[in-house]
Structure 1
């Protein structure tokens, strides 16, 4: 626990044994902690140099703990000062890097990463360095089968950062993917779906973009990805994401609460989202866990409820009345009150 202050676990164990306040000899500490006497003496020297224990002369020599409020606070303040200096230095390095980047050869804006392991390692590294938000285009093929729980993203969400994902229709119509999409949504991911996403891509804040070098229908045994640094190309990719995000349909997997559940049931919300995103009926039936015949009955019921004679009219009604986003239109009476 105190390793962040430079105190190793064995030294921490010895320090904890001294907190009774009475002087204790090294051999007694060895019996209390279960550590060999030689390692107890090493720990005591470390604790003494850190200002956590004091030695009392005599035969045998004994040791006492220094008040933690004084000793540990001193170490904390010292470590905070070191972190502050490191941040200042990091800022200097960042500024130097940006100045150099402004004069770099344009080819240096592009970084090529090749090989499955290298691509995975670089992608995880970039995601873990997100400062504000991660934006993702999710599209097959998947080199891991598409069933990786994506722990780096879950870590981001647990830290309260924003993750927005636009899923290709094919990406959610795969065995096991709906469970993962639900897990990410429950963790806080904002998800939308499109019939056809142009490419898989990850945007790290406004600093970096990662996308495949080659398009293809099948997994590449030795994939190559491009990492784009700040440039006009990165700005264009950011604008592309925002444009497609604006037209994509919100995706709420079943089991994920909506802000206004009274608008439609969870299952019907998912059904409408997938329908307006352009998925075929067979794929929708699989995603909402209905038989094809039951799906047709459900769609007809929704059309009757919307007063629509075609699916296109149903989509228009869904968008106009908040069925897609889950919002509920407020009804006003003749006097203007709710």
Structure 2
């Protein structure tokens, strides 16, 4: 617990023992903590240098704990001063880097990362360094079939704004609904689009991470591009905002909405249809057979007076039927067999 103040675990154990007995000898401390006398002696030296313990003369030599309210407050203040100096220094480095970036070779704007392990490591590093906003194009295939979502949850808990545009195929990946729902419940804003052009992560307005090659399947040795501040980065930011504006909002099933024109099941069908999902994917999301889905869609078209799916979509938009895609609560029979894919 006190490691953040530079106190190792053994020294902390010795300090805790000092708090219960005053004064106490080295041998008594060894017996209480279960540590060898030599390591207790080293811990006592560290505690004395930190101002947490004092030595009393006599035979045998004994030790006392310094009042934690005084000693620990002093360490906290010292650490806060060190952190302040580090922030100032980091700001100086950032400013120096920005000045150098303005005059550097254009080729240095682009960083190539190759190999799945390196890509995942760099992606995690970028995620941990988001300050204000993370914008994501989410599209399969995924490099990591595990559950690397703690970084995003940490960002959301810090108040970082996260917006994600999901490819229609993405939310149909086994296990994906549960992962997206978890992120949304933590505060992510999510939308779905029929065809997201590429996977991408925009870190504030500073960096972008996207694959060098799109590919149709997982690449055994993928290459990703990291773009620094440039006109290209500005263009990618504008692309995200344009697609965000036309994408359909995602809602967890059971969330409130203002439209009472359709039943919840029909709202789901219309939302999935206008999001661009094919019929087989809509049937899976709605837990319907293909034949039942066709009957339901035909009934909606008759209700809207539409002769085509396109006309049904126009009618739905004009009459408030389109309220965003709702993620179902029912588990998919295949989802428990696969891990939850990450962003990359």
Whether these two folds match at TM > 0.5 is yes
Partner of 1:282: 280
For this pair of structures, how many residues does the alignment match? 323
Structure 2 residue runs without a partner (length 5+) = 325-344
Deviates further, 177-186 or 275-284: 177-186
Does structure 1 residue 13 correspond to structure 2 residue 10? Answer: no
Tell me the alpha carbon deviations over residues 120-150 of structure 1, each in whole angstroms, 9 at most, x when there is no partner: 11111111110011111111222335x6443
Q: Secondary structure, in 3 states, of the residue corresponding to 2:159?
A: coil
Q: Distance in 1 between matches of 2:75 and 2:85?
A: 15
Does structure 1 residue 74 correspond to structure 2 residue 71? Answer: no
| TM superposition shift of 1:287 | 1.5
Q: Secondary structure, in 3 states, of the residue corresponding to 2:23?
A: coil
Does structure 1 residue 41 correspond to structure 2 residue 41? Answer: yes
Partner of 2:22: 22
Partner of 1:158: 157
| TM superposition shift of 1:179 | 2.4
Q: Distance in 2 between matches of 1:296 and 1:283?
A: 13
Q: Is the 8 A contact 2:26 2:62 kept in 1?
A: yes
| TM superposition shift of 1:264 | 6.1
| TM superposition shift of 1:268 | 4.6
Partner of 1:220: 219
| TM superposition shift of 1:185 | 2.0
Deviates further, 171-180 or 25-34: 171-180
Deviates further, 178-187 or 230-239: 178-187
Partner of 1:141: 141
Q: Is the 8 A contact 1:252 1:270 kept in 2?
A: no
CA 1:111–1:298: 2 relative to 1, 3 Å: same
The structure 2 residue matched to 1:273, chosen from 271, 282, 301, is: 271
Q: Secondary structure, in 3 states, of the residue corresponding to 1:202?
A: strand
TM-score (norm 2): 0.86
| TM superposition shift of 1:175 | 2.2
Deviates further, 68-77 or 281-290: 281-290
Structure 1 residue runs without a partner (length 5+) = 327-338
Give matches, 1:154-233, under 5 Å.
Answer: 154-233=153-232
Q: Secondary structure, in 3 states, of the residue corresponding to 2:166?
A: strand
| TM superposition shift of 1:300 | 5.1
| TM superposition shift of 1:39 | 1.1
Q: Distance in 1 between matches of 2:49 and 2:82?
A: 18
TM-score (norm 1): 0.88
Partner of 1:333: none
**RMSD between aligned residues:** 2.2
Deviates further, 151-160 or 112-121: 151-160
| TM superposition shift of 1:111 | 0.6
Q: Distance in 2 between matches of 1:142 and 1:195?
A: 18
